[in-house]
Structure 1
Amino acid sequence: MTQSLATIFLVDDDASVLRGLGRLLRTVGYATKTFSSPAEFLAQLPRDTPGCAVLDLRMPGLNGLELQQTMESRDCHLPVIFISGHGDVPASVRAMKAGAVDFLLKPFDEQQLLGAISQALLKDAASRASRAEAAELHARHAVLTPREREVCTLVAQGLTNKEVAQQLGTTEKTIKVHRARVIQKLGVDSIAELVRFVDRLGQN
């Protein structure tokens, strides 16, 4: 992901921190949006914008960890970097367990923040690619009829046409027709590809 495509969302109740970080990030080419409170950020919550969120840990109202949880519950999957003026080890542990990219103590080195943002953007790009693949797999699978889905699952488990027919209470000839349609609709060229498709579908 190039910097020009990413937006860094800064949430901190300290106006001087917002100004300083915003200036730094714009200087190195990042688009930035700043928010002085969690409520302000949630009112404009981005869902499809590439980027990451830099959140202060301690703020009035929701704290950073609670804001992160609220983002997830509202289907916002931006990677999160926490910043804090307090050496709160338990909070940093909770943050990392909740999936935060990094936890930086103020005052932190500019390069620490830029490095964490680079990591976060790589994570965001990978997550977006994974979600796009999952959506594409499910869309292809959705065109199958209920019976074709049953056949697809059983064939992917390694059952022969005869075994599938016995399990579904139909003829081997009918299963051959269903299997051919499954392969055609899913756009795969072989049973091996069909097995890989079903594996990836299950992982997503």
Structure 2
Amino acid sequence: MGDEQSTERVAQGTDVTQEILVIDDDPAILGMTLLTFREAGFQAVGFTDPLDALMWASDADPTCIVVDLKLPGIEGLDLVGAFCAFGRHAVILVSAYVDVLTTVDAMRLGVDNVLTKPTTPEQLLGAARRALDILASIPRQDTLTFTRRERQVAEYLVAGRTTKQIAQALSLSPRTVEFFRASLLRKTQSPNSAALASALTRIGFTASDA
């Protein structure tokens, strides 16, 4: 579960309070980042667990998401792609391991900005404000979309593969496979794995032959 799942309202002189979601596996960095946003007048909610963050974002109104690239149990750009696939959030990627290829791939997924650690409060706040301004001007999109990894996992689920079998086939950890299964359950509004397989089949997914 996230270490910082409560939100804090700070008066801004207006009736509109903007919210920021922060994901970082380092509790100290997470705490400092949340404090930066809260002192600037934002609501801020934080998670160290990417799956908890994804579940929170799935039900959240359009918001700005600040996510670390290197998180345990999940490939960074897969997580970023999952957030971008919602089609309603502004995503800022922050990492000490950013190179040109990663930046290009992130932008193609729909990331609004890429920041290199360590970042200053001014950089974080400036990026968040720009992202929220852009977000406010874009109509909300609720079209059902899937990331590349979600599609791969979906094909194996339709084929009746177990989590362990999918993990071996895709060279992923079982934890990562469960991450994508949870995302697919949410997106298709399926109550269990059997209903998920049926929903994926109706959408058009076919069993993987691999």
Match of 2:83 in 1: 71
Alpha-carbon deviation of 1:12?
0.7
What's the TM-score, normalizing by structure 2? 0.56
Match of 1:118 in 2: 129
2:52 maps to 1:6: no
Paired residues of 2:65 and 2:91 also in contact (CA < 8 A): yes
Aligned equivalents of 2:88, 2:75: Cα separation in 1: 18
* SS of structure 2 residue aligned to 1:71: helix
Per-residue CA distance 1:67-100 (angstroms, 9 max, x = gap): 1222344x35211000001243211121122221
Match of 1:97 in 2: 108
Aligned equivalents of 2:130, 2:101: Cα separation in 1: 23
Unaligned runs of 5+ in 2: 1-13, 143-210
Aligned equivalents of 2:20, 2:27: Cα separation in 1: 16
2:143 maps to 1:131: no
Aligned equivalents of 2:78, 2:22: Cα separation in 1: 16
Paired residues of 1:10 and 1:33 also in contact (CA < 8 A): yes
Match of 1:42 in 2: 54
Aligned equivalents of 1:89, 1:121: Cα separation in 2: 24
* SS of structure 1 residue aligned to 2:30: helix
Alpha-carbon deviation of 1:60?
1.1
Distance 1:50 1:68, change over 3 A: same
* SS of structure 1 residue aligned to 2:137: helix
Alpha-carbon deviation of 1:47?
4.1
Match of 1:33 in 2: 45
2:29 maps to 1:17: yes
Say which structure, 1 or 2, has more relative contact order (CA 8 Å, 6+ apart): 2
Unaligned runs of 5+ in 1: 135-204
Q: Which amino acid aligns with 1:68?
A: V
Per-residue CA distance 1:144-183 (angstroms, 9 max, x = gap): xxxxxxxxxxxxxxxxxxxxxxxxxxxxxxxxxxxxxxxx
Aligned equivalents of 1:3, 1:12: Cα separation in 2: 29
Paired residues of 1:9 and 1:34 also in contact (CA < 8 A): yes
**Percent sequence identity over matched residues?**
33
Aligned equivalents of 1:44, 1:53: Cα separation in 2: 11
Paired residues of 1:6 and 1:50 also in contact (CA < 8 A): no
Paired residues of 1:11 and 1:18 also in contact (CA < 8 A): yes
Alignment of 1:123-202 (within 5 A): 123-127=134-138, 130-131=139-140
Give 4+ residue runs of structure 1 displaced > 6 Å after superposition.
none
Paired residues of 2:83 and 2:91 also in contact (CA < 8 A): no
Alpha-carbon deviation of 1:131?
3.5
Paired residues of 2:84 and 2:109 also in contact (CA < 8 A): no
Bigger fraction of residues in helix: 1
Paired residues of 1:7 and 1:31 also in contact (CA < 8 A): yes
